[in-house]
Amino acid sequence: MTDHHVHIGQFNEIYYDALELFELIESLSAKTGVTEIRYSSTSSCRDDAEFLRVEEEIEYALNFESDVLTARPYLWFIPKYAEQGISVESAAGALDYCGIKLHPAGQNWDEENPKHERALHEIFSWADKNEKTVLIHCGPQKCDLPTRFERFFAEYKSARVILAHSNPVKETAEMLNKYQNVFSDTACIASEDLKLLREKATDSSKILFGSDFPVSHYFATHIFGKTHTLEEEYISNAKTQLPSL
């Protein structure tokens, strides 16, 4: 099983070391069934995010070697990079990225800004040409609805789009059923919403496992007052796909 939604790097006051996280996930593989992960760096969503610094984090993470677990990175591309003149093609081609991540709630993608609009086309064009993934954070706000970038789904049909969090369910199901190249993930989805989405989706196999780990653990322990371990959190997340765990 592949976990399509893992994070490394700085998240608020905590720094999550890539190799330590990967080793933890690897140690649980026999129990969770996870043999591959796709990850991005939350250092990208800091106000002081620097492209080269994040790239160094990914280079460090690529040192991970395992016969059990494969770890593949996403390039988290932000509007600031477009404004700085960093091209999508050169940034995405620098390392062995499996795709590009967009977070329209965390960063303001303004399609009326020519640099932003050009970068968005470059992102989906790169994914289309290389048959790579665009992972998009989704939510109930106007800025991050699953339909926000629909015009790109239709234009770039070989780009594999994953609507992270499958939120809201109604709009997620609409996109899953309308576009062959659109998928979603289970990161942080409530069990009742996941059940509803599986009922609404014509092809429920397009709903992929995503854990949002270790950010999910941060929210559980720092906001909701829980005290469980990182290991327990990851196993709990895997239960969304394997209820028998």
pLDDT digits 0-9 by tens, 142-190: 999 999 999 999 999 999 999 999 999 999 999 999 999 999 999 999 9
Instruction: Tell me if residue 146 falls in helix, strand or coil.
Output: coil
Pairing of strands 207-208, 182-185: parallel
Q: Does residue 243 belong to any structural domain of this protein? A: no
Residue 244 has pLDDT above 80, yes or no: no
Q: Does residue 244 belong to any structural domain of this protein? A: no
Q: Does residue 82 belong to any structural domain of this protein? A: yes
Residue 240 has pLDDT above 90, yes or no: no
Using a pLDDT cut of 90, give the percent of the chain over it: 89
Q: Does residue 8 belong to any structural domain of this protein? A: yes
Tell me how long the chain is.
245
CATH number at residue 207: 3.20.20.70
Taking the model in full, what pTM does it have? 0.95
pLDDT digits 0-9 by tens, 36-78: 999 999 999 887 889 999 999 999 999 999 999 999 999 999 9
Summarize the confidence of residues 109-119 as an average pLDDT.
97
Count of domains for the chain: 1
Cα dihedral 133, 12, 94, 2, rounded to 10, equals -40
Q: Does residue 11 belong to any structural domain of this protein? A: yes
Q: Does residue 245 belong to any structural domain of this protein? A: no
**Residues of the domain holding 163:** 2-238
Q: In this predicted structure, what is the pLDDT of residue 241?
A: 76
Q: Does residue 12 belong to any structural domain of this protein? A: yes
| Beta strand segments in the chain, E | 2-11, 14-16, 36-41, 70-76, 99-102, 133-137, 160-164, 182-185, 207-208
Q: Does residue 13 belong to any structural domain of this protein? A: yes
